[in-house]
Amino acid sequence: MRTIKGPGIFLAQFAGDAAPFDSFDAICGWAASFGYKGVQIPSWDARLFDLAKASESKDYCDEIAGVAAGHGLAITELSTHLQGQLVAVHPAYDSAFDGFAAPEVRGNPTARQEWAVDQVKRALTASRHLGLSAHPTFSGALAWPYLYPWPQRPAGLVETAFDELARRWRPILDHAEEMGVDVAYEIHPGEDLHDGVTYEMFLERVDGHPRANLLYDPSHFVLQQLDYLDYLDIYMERVRAFHVKDAEFNPTGRQGVYGGYQNWVDRAGRFRSLGDGQVDFGAIFSKFAASDYDGWAVLEWECALKHPEDGAREGAGFIAAHIIRVTEHAFDDFAAGGTDEAANRTILGLGGAR
């Protein structure tokens, strides 16, 4: 068994235009001050990271890693959540998602998709330059507007959507194979890959591609009322990244999973800072420890109530307290008898050695 690495922190929700959140060096110093050991970098945020340069220059990647190391930090992963979202966008969401793209491709869905694919490929190349093994992202979505089967979906609609999703991702996955980096899809509402069934539908269409793997975030399962512990039992061998994020679900007679179009504060299901929600992290970290997982436990902070800096400060200690330093010996080794095959056969009444 191996001990999970951490605590790490995803920088996306903290980056900003004011110090110490406006440069990679400064935000690393801020994260280290709370006790974090690693940082997950949002590859789209030019204040922190130059993705084009990172994909073309290992020297630049070495410099970035050196900045992190100067604060006692490792880079856990690069993220392309926003770019991955744009690999597949239903026209209903064109306007909403256009802001994720570079200005020169906005308003042009074809150019935007090509840009997004190039971005994810660049991030995979940069991940190789940084010596990283996993790359978190979103799948994007074509079928999401038809999640609820009313009006009745035309026969074959979902299948066509997943065929196209797989077609778009296959070249990216093949590039990931060339780079030796796993794509870790975050299972997330709003993506076509939003639960185990949809992930399996996609995995079948990419022929079980060895690089089509998973980011595990239990908060999204709480909001969907999906069993997040059983999910680990089913898919642990495909999990390559871990967002430690809490959530709660408190349905009433007025609203449930769908949330009644309410804002985050007023929804029955909402994200919370670590320890303030309902996720059983003790059970989750036990499953990771028992499964020989050697990746990172990375805080993703999203809470409608608590200040982000309080969430970040508390999150480092919360994760550190939940990391299980795995044992090198069985607890009952002191009572081992030191028997051999002949003795075992005798114990079983099978006579001596054969």
One digit per residue, pLDDT tens: the chain, 354 residues? 799 999 999 999 999 999 999 999 999 999 999 999 999 999 999 999 999 999 999 999 999 999 999 999 999 999 999 999 999 999 999 999 999 999 999 999 999 999 999 999 999 999 999 999 999 999 999 999 999 999 999 999 999 999 999 999 999 999 999 999 999 999 999 999 999 999 999 999 999 999 999 999 999 999 999 999 999 999 999 999 999 999 999 999 999 999 999 999 999 999 999 999 999 999 999 999 999 999 999 999 999 999 999 999 999 999 999 999 998 766 666 556 667 888 888 888 897 666
Q: What whole-number distance in Å separates Cα of residue 81 and Cα of residue 199?
A: 17
In the chain, the domains with their CATH numbers are: 5-347 (3.20.20.150)
Q: What whole-number distance in Å separates Cα of residue 353 and Cα of residue 342?
A: 5
Closest CA to 193 of 171, 172, 224: 224
Q: What whole-number distance in Å separates Cα of residue 320 and Cα of residue 34?
A: 11
Give the gyration radius of the chain's Cα atoms. Answer: 22
Q: What are phi and psi of 275, to 5 degrees?
A: 90, -10
Written as six digits, the tokens of 179 are 């780079």
pTM: 0.94
How buried is residue 350: exposed, middle or buried, by Cβ count under 10 Å (0-12/13-18/19+)?
A: exposed
What is the model's pLDDT at position 323?
98
Beta bridge partners of 297: 242
Omega before residue 151 within 30° of 0, cis: yes
Is the Cα dihedral 91, 92, 93, 95 positive or negative?
positive
- Residue position matching structure tokens 């570079």: 102
Q: Are strands 239-244 and 212-216 parallel, antiparallel or unpaired?
A: parallel
Compute, in degrees rounded to 10, the torsion defined by CA atoms 330, 331, 335, 337.
-10
Expressed in percent and rounded to 5, the helix, strand and coil fractions of the chain are: 45, 15, 40
What is the model's pLDDT at position 339?
74
- Residue position matching structure tokens 């992190």: 68
Contacts with 212 (C-beta within 8 Å, 6 or more apart), sequence order: 169, 173, 183, 185, 202, 203, 206
- Residue position matching structure tokens 């979906």: 153
Asked whether 173 and 206 are in contact (CB, 8 A), the reply is yes
Closest CA to 115 of 130, 97, 135: 97
Asked whether 200 and 162 are in contact (CB, 8 A), the reply is no
Asked whether 313 and 343 are in contact (CB, 8 A), the reply is no
Closest CA to 143 of 156, 131, 130: 156
Written as six digits, the tokens of 279 are 């996720």
Written as six digits, the tokens of 24 are 């990679």
DSSP H or E segment with residue 25: helix 24-33
Beta bridge partners of 185: 137, 214
